Amino acid sequence: MSVTDDIKARIDIVDLVGQYTPLKKAGRNYKALCPFHSEKTPSFVVFPDSQSWRCFGACGEGGDIFSFVMKHEGWDFAETLRVLADQAGVELEPITPQQTESREAVDRLRHLLAEVAHFFHQHLLTEESASHARAYVEKRGLSAEIVQQFEIGYAPDGWEVTLNTFLERGYTRDEMVRTGLLVVKDEGGVYDRFRDRLMIPIRDGRGNMAGFGARGLTSEATPKYLNSPQNDLFDKSSLLFGLDRARRSIREKETAVIVEGYMDVIQAHQAGFTNVVAQMGTALTEPQLRLLARYANRLILALDPDTAGQSATERSREVFERDAAATASEMLDEGQTSLETMEREHRVKLSAEFDAAGMMRYENSLGFDLRVAVLPQGYDPDDLIREAPSAWAELIDSAVHFVEYSIRTATQRDDIDDPRVKSQVIEDLTPIINGIADSVMRAHYRQRLARVLKIAENILFPQDLSVGNRSPKSKPGRGRFKSSTSLAAAPMSLPTDATLNPTLSREAFCLAALIQYPRLVYQINRVLAEYLDREALIRINPMLENIEVWPDLDVLAPYVIDSDFAHPEHRQIFWAWNDALNQDAVEPVSYLLETLDPLARSRVESWLDQPLYALLRNITPPKARFTDERAHEGAMQGLFDLRQKRLEDQLQELLFVVSDLDDGGNSLTVHVYGDTIRILTVARHLMREVRGRLSASKKSRSPNQRLRTG
């Protein structure tokens, strides 16, 4: 039993609500004037059997003891949980001193970086020694406003300026080493890492300082670009420069444009193209892609001509080699015996993730429309945006699909008629095309490649290699890789209270899906708005048009709401997730985890660490593995099932209330209840209709399309 369930078992809702408002017995239930709005006729009902309450009047809300106290007192869930736990005699798990100490240490390092960024920024603006840096900024065409927005600065030309300045401000040498501000000498001394450089603060998606990108200002500066070293705060594989400022625009446009340089991003934002971010390394990484998937359904890679002429594997080779060696060394330290074997295996894994076929797989799994825009010869985004902003806009608008780009790149060569060249092109491109999830797109690009190479399609793509039609004995061709990071990873154990009953399991699954697929909530909201719209209800029953005052029932809300979840912890998680999506200061998942109490945070972390199908194991065979399409479908169906169940329950509750009325059924209350019953009955019809359509859509696809088994 969870803590919340234990509390609910010890506190009777009739006793609790009776402390706030007088209750009168009405048959099996209790009624009262609603404590949340002014009324003369009782519309507030408490149901002892289900330990729930509902207002059938102006509020239209309902819930359990947690939602009642939260609404009445204006408390958040954490405060309500503490008060009710104390009242029920239930002990809550406290945050450990170690956890508090660790968080405070990280916060202090971030404050240090923020102060250093401000120090560099003020140096750029005011110090005479920074005049050449200001001249460089002016030469790049950056306005004073954009310099301030990105807090661009200048690191003084000295070996211990930063060290001495922040020692005086109370920070330690160790803290400055940990944040990468200092370099440790072999003999143990330290010196400033950044000297005589233009400083560009790098923040994570939440806007927290993570490190710096530094550009040399003289021809002798080596290297020209210098970043903060890898550390606890600065992980370039999971950072995207400018995301903290671009996130809102990306979400609104549902499109993210990725460039390669900090100045490209800054120049784009200055020109009003605010959905532009930059990758931190020479290749996109899985964490970066998953981060963008929370905000965008279209991702455009803006590449210069030289970069565009290389394959994703070629661009990433240096990163693969370096990362493979480092990871192999770590594995060796942990007890692995063969450095060569470990390095080779890790390199293969990385290549599988991020060659062209790997990128195609991520387009499928993350729901991206992945496109490429190739800049004119001799231009980078910074130059093009400054000289011709309209040309940049046209370039982005005309970006081609990643597969089309791959076909053009591979076939635009003088020796394409050479049979051996054709064979190599086929070997490179067929895995990419076979990896396309959408059957229409897959067929289109098969035909496209066959026309370009002047080879019959059935020769290029034999039937036994078709996606979804391979026999169990057939071996995947070169370039077909299994994802080691998909949502269908090896199952993990669930908290026992998550599987108490199918409804709670379905709630957990739906919430986990909404968190892992942030855009899913907007898709579901569009469908709910279509079917629960007042006009849609009236089309089914024109008599409803005569109702003068429509009840404000939450079950008719045209979007997903907290009441769709029965479990109080689930409602708390949904509240926090909704807040996370509607703010821009913090990356949503991090915001969610930071704002939840320890118990709920532990629950969400367990959801993120296991495959979605495990959360539905009460109603799905344990060996079934969800495709990403099935996860979307399952969440859509699940949330509609939860809403339909609530609607059925409310309709049944209302019928009980009417049957228990002690005024002979002649009051205004009965008239209002009659209108509500008619509306709910029509809404139930529509919900059943949309649920039937969802089921029909599921049945229309083949078993291979619906589920992977293994």
Residue predicted with more confidence, 509 or 663: 509
The dihedral through the CA atoms of 303, 304, 309, 314 has a sign that is: negative
- Kindly state the average pLDDT of the residues 290-294: 77
Coil, strand or helix: which one is 373?
strand
| Sequence spans of domains, the chain | 3-88, 110-234, 403-465, 496-709
Order the strands of the 52-55 sheet from edge to edge.
24-26, 29-32, 44-47, 52-55, 62-63
Residue predicted with more confidence, 214 or 604: 214
Nearest to 411 by CA among 435, 428, 399: 428
Q: What's residue 161's pLDDT?
A: 96
What is the band of 310 on the pLDDT scale with cuts at 50, 70, 90? very low
The answer to whether 368 touches 286, Cβ cutoff 8 Å, is no
The dihedral through the CA atoms of 10, 15, 19, 21 has a sign that is: positive
Range with the poorest average pLDDT among 9-13, 451-455, 593-597: 593-597
Instruction: Answer whether residue 684 shows pLDDT above 70.
Output: yes
- Tell me the CATH number for domain 3-88: 3.90.580.10
Coil, strand or helix: which one is 64?
coil
What is the b/e burial string over 78-90, where b = at least 16 CB atoms within 10 angstroms of the residue's CB?
A: bebbeebbeeeeb
Instruction: Answer whether residue 451 shows pLDDT above 70.
Output: yes
Q: Which amino acid would we find at residue 22?
A: P
For tokens 């599988």, the residue is 352
User: Rounded CA gap, 66 and 83, in Å?
Assistant: 10
Task: Note the pLDDT tens digit of each residue in 628-673.
Answer: 677 777 888 888 888 888 888 888 877 777 776 554 444 555 666 7
User: Rounded CA gap, 36 and 375, in Å?
Assistant: 60
Task: Note the pLDDT tens digit of each residue in 16-62.
Answer: 999 988 998 877 788 888 888 777 778 888 988 778 888 877 777 78
Task: Note the pLDDT tens digit of each residue in 104-162.
Answer: 898 899 999 999 999 999 999 999 999 999 999 999 999 999 999 999 999 999 999 99
User: Rounded CA gap, 155 and 170, in Å?
Assistant: 20
Instruction: Answer whether residue 502 shows pLDDT above 70.
Output: no
- DSSP secondary structure letter of residue 43: -
Phi, psi of 210 (to 5 degrees): -120, -30
Cα Rg of the chain (Å, integer): 30
Residue predicted with more confidence, 158 or 542: 158
DSSP 305-347: HHHHTS-HHHHHHHHHHHHHHHHHHHHHHTT-S-HHHHHHHHH
Q: Give a three-class secondary structure readout of 678-702.
A: HHHHHHHHHHHHHHHHHHHHHHCCC
Instruction: Answer whether residue 562 shows pLDDT above 60.
Output: yes
Q: What is the mean pLDDT of the chain?
A: 77
Residue predicted with more confidence, 604 or 320: 604
**Chain centre distance of CA 514:** 9
User: Rounded CA gap, 429 and 33, in Å?
Assistant: 69
User: Rounded CA gap, 568 and 550, in Å?
Assistant: 28
SS3 of the chain: helix, strand, coil, percent, to 5: 55, 10, 35
The answer to whether 576 touches 589, Cβ cutoff 8 Å, is no
Nearest to 237 by CA among 279, 265, 201, 277: 279
Share of the chain above pLDDT 90, in %: 24
Coil, strand or helix: which one is 624?
strand
User: Rounded CA gap, 673 and 655, in Å?
Assistant: 9
Task: Note the pLDDT tens digit of each residue in 612-623.
Answer: 766 665 444 444
Q: Which amino acid would we find at residue 621?
A: P
Task: Note the pLDDT tens digit of each residue in 564-574.
Answer: 888 878 888 88
Q: What's residue 470's pLDDT?
A: 38
For tokens 């729901």, the residue is 367
Task: Note the pLDDT tens digit of each residue in 328-374.
Answer: 444 444 444 444 444 444 333 333 344 555 565 556 555 578 888 98
- Tell me the CATH number for domain 110-234: 3.90.980.10
Q: What's residue 607's pLDDT?
A: 82
- DSSP secondary structure letter of residue 274: T
What is the band of 480 on the pLDDT scale with cuts at 50, 70, 90? very low
Helix 628-659 × helix 502-516 angle, to 10°: 130
Q: What's residue 356's pLDDT?
A: 56
Q: How many CA atoms lie within 13 A of 315 on its CB side?
A: 20
- Kindly state the average pLDDT of the residues 505-515: 86
For tokens 């003999």, the residue is 187
Instruction: Answer whether residue 460 shows pLDDT above 90.
Output: no
Q: What's residue 667's pLDDT?
A: 53
Residue predicted with more confidence, 575 or 672: 575
The answer to whether 551 touches 679, Cβ cutoff 8 Å, is yes
User: Rounded CA gap, 215 and 226, in Å?
Assistant: 6
Task: Note the pLDDT tens digit of each residue in 390-400.
Answer: 999 999 999 99
Share of the chain above pLDDT 70, in %: 76
Nearest to 97 by CA among 107, 89, 85, 105: 105
β-partners of residue 172 are none
